[in-house]
Each structure stands twice: as C-alpha cells, then as structure tokens.
Structure 1
Amino acid sequence: MATTNDLKNGMVLVIDGQLWSVVEFQHVKPGKGPAFVRTKLKGVTSGKVVSKTFNAGVKVETANVDRRDMQYLYNDGTGFVFMDTVDYEQLTVPEDVVGEAANFLLEGSEAIVAMHDGLPLYLDMPASVVMEITHTDPGLQGDRSSAGTKPATIETGYQIQVPLFLETGTKVKVDTRSGEYLGRVND
C-alpha cells in the first residue's frame, strides 16, 4: 500500500481489480479546499488511457511488477519463448502480450518482460533496433534521400518506408514504437 503522495511515473496500481500504470500525475493544492492528485492512467492489459483524480494522502494499492531483462529465443507456435538472462529460466509469452513488438524481435534480441504474479503483462523493447533490409526495389540513378521513400521488407518480414537510395542488404535503424526508419547503419 502507498498513498497518492508517493505516486511516480511507471508505478502500477490495482484499481477495481485491474492493473493501471501511472503515465502522468500532478499534485494540485487549490487556494480553497483540500489538495488532490490528478493522474493519467494506462490499463496494463487493455492499453486504455483514463484520467482519475484522487484526494491527497489517500491509500492506493500498488501491484508488485517484476521487470526482467530477457533474451528472445524463438516462436514455438503458441507464443514467444524468452530466457531470463540471470537464471536462464525460460518463459513463453503469449502473442497478444507481445503485440506489435513481434515486428522487431530477432532471435537473440534483448527485451524487458514485465510480470505480475508469474504472468507476463507487457514487453518493453529498446527504443530502436538495427535490422537488415531483406527486400526492396532497386534505386535509380539520381535518387537522393530527400526525393521520397519506397517500401522495404526487414528481417522479421515487417515492411517499412525507406529512402529511395537504400538497397537490399543494407542495415538500418528502426524505431520500435512507430516502425519508422531512423537511419542507415554503417558496419
């Protein structure tokens, strides 16, 4: 148990039996009346974002969320198998928990798996990953980075937009949150 005065970004609360992550919070002390805490909460399992106001000093139930560094091993058809980098224990994370992150997971990739009572809640990927372009149409003479973009398929089979001058086999940096091309990586 904690009070609303102890809230921090990223803290996970249990409200009405559901897990909510604190996205933003603001302590407000109006000229008249008692102080209160205005929060923006994101549902851990649903992803839904809501605003909620608490009176200052009110007790709230916190959830014990264990965030572990894990390495992605393979997809076994029922889910994604990860290995804890500390004790080498393996864990299968369901596809719905992995979600869009599957577009950027290669064997051996590092990620953080958040767990509550032994159940995986969500996956935290690094902000960007380096991927190789496995297929894209060849560029034409005179194509420059400011001229436009073309579709390219990366190692995981996900398709991104890249500048016209990039070719198959080029390594690129991709934003895992938006799926956007960030730049070319020189070996």
Structure 2
Amino acid sequence: MPKVNANQLRKGNVVEINGKLLAVITAQNIQPGKGTPVMQLDLRDLTSGIKTTERYRTTESVERVFIDTREFSYLFAEGDMYTFMDKENYEQVAVPAEVVGEQAVWLQEGMEVEIALYDGKPVSVSLPQTVIMAITETEPTVKGQTASSSYKPAIVENGQRVMVPPHVSSGVRIVINIQEGATYMERAKD
C-alpha cells in the first residue's frame, strides 16, 4: 500500500492504521500560531463503525488504501441489509445497515449510488447530493408571512421533516439537498 502525506487525505479516502481500515469522515488542516501545522482527521472504523479522531503533522506519512468504487442501483431493503445491483454486470450485493448509515432514509428504489469496495466487500455508500420527494403534509401559510424571511416545516414521503418556503403546499414535489442536512432547494421540474 502506498504511503501519502497526511495533508493529501480528503473526505472519503480510506487509510490503514494499526491494521484497521478507517474511512476519513472529515479532514481539517489546522495551523496554530506557533508550531507545525497538523491535519485533524475524523475517522470511522469500517468494520466496527466506531468513530475516532487522529492528528498528524502534515508531513507525516499515512498508509492509504485504494478502493474500487462502482455505480450501483438500489433495489430493496430486507431486515438490516440493503440490496444493490451493479450497473455493469448486474450482480447483486447486500450492504449492512451500519455501512449505509443514517442516509438510508433517503434511499429510493432505482436510485443510483456509488459503493466503495475493498477486497469485494462494501465499505461505504455514497448517495447523490439531491433527491426529489413529494410533500405529504405541511402547515398552512400564515397571512402576512413573507417568502424571504421564514420557512415552515413539511413532512416528505419518507417521513423526514424539511423546512420549506411558505408558498409550497402538500402534494408538491421538491428537490432536497441531503448532503447539507436535508435542506429545501427548489420545486422539482417534472
């Protein structure tokens, strides 16, 4: 496995530390007033799911593991396993719920995702940045509420709560940015 400087690590990279595979959740370059700059890495153990934080000098070497990333389509969930189909060879792969994580609520049948594989075993799932969902319920617009200053809560078809502008009502399909905490972007164009 190649060694890379700690300052070259980015979110999504996988490193090996003490024989364990760890995925980089966040990588932050910290430059103190005095002393050498350091990289603070928030890491998740790919086998146990435990999160840890490590600090390395920016010039320190870390073992980076190269992962095979491929496109898959989401098929269905059964128990605590999510089944995806490889878009190239149509093989199915079952991914445990702890690998999919909290983003599982946004999975939709047929959704295209990227799955990172290490030795044929799924280690992470990346969903698209946005999803389109219909609003199932929302509060009525309060008279005098302006569109620029306030948002109202709405429940979308998967049961999640999203803040939307006052002019959006039930039944409307909206685009939601799921990478930035489920935020309303716009009405769907379909």
User: What is the TM-score when the length of structure 2 is the normalising length?
Assistant: 0.77
Q: Looking at CA atoms only, which structure, 1 or 2, has the larger radius of gyration?
A: 1
Cα deviation, residue 83, structure 1? 0.8
Contact 1:147/1:164 (8 A) holds in 2: no
Please give the per-residue CA displacement for 1:71-95, whole angstroms capped at 9, x wherever unaligned.
1111112321111111111111112
Aligned to 1:118: 120
The residue type equivalent to 1:131 in the other structure is M
Aligned to 2:184: 181
Alignment partners' CA distance in 2, 1:24 and 1:147: 34
Cα deviation, residue 70, structure 1? 1.0
Aligned to 1:150: 152
Matches within 5 A, 1:1-187: 1-5=1-5, 7-9=8-10, 10-21=12-23, 23-24=26-27, 38-45=38-45, 46-53=50-57, 58=61, 60-139=62-141, 143-177=145-179, 178-187=181-190
Please give the per-residue CA displacement for 1:38-75, whole angstroms capped at 9, x wherever unaligned.
4333323334332223755x5x4332322121111111
Is the alpha carbon distance of 1:184 and 1:54 closer, same or farther for their aligned partners in structure 2, counting shifts above 3 Å? closer
Choose 84-93 or 145-154, whichever is displaced more: 145-154
**In the comparison of the two structures, how many residue pairs are matched?**
177
Alignment partners' CA distance in 2, 1:154 and 1:83: 26
Alignment partners' CA distance in 1, 2:69 and 2:98: 18
The residue type equivalent to 1:41 in the other structure is L
Gaps of 5+ in 2: none
Identity %: 32
RMSD over aligned CA atoms reads 2.8
User: What is the TM-score when the length of structure 1 is the normalising length?
Assistant: 0.78
The residue type equivalent to 1:51 in the other structure is R
Contact 1:20/1:42 (8 A) holds in 2: no
SS of 1:97's partner is helix
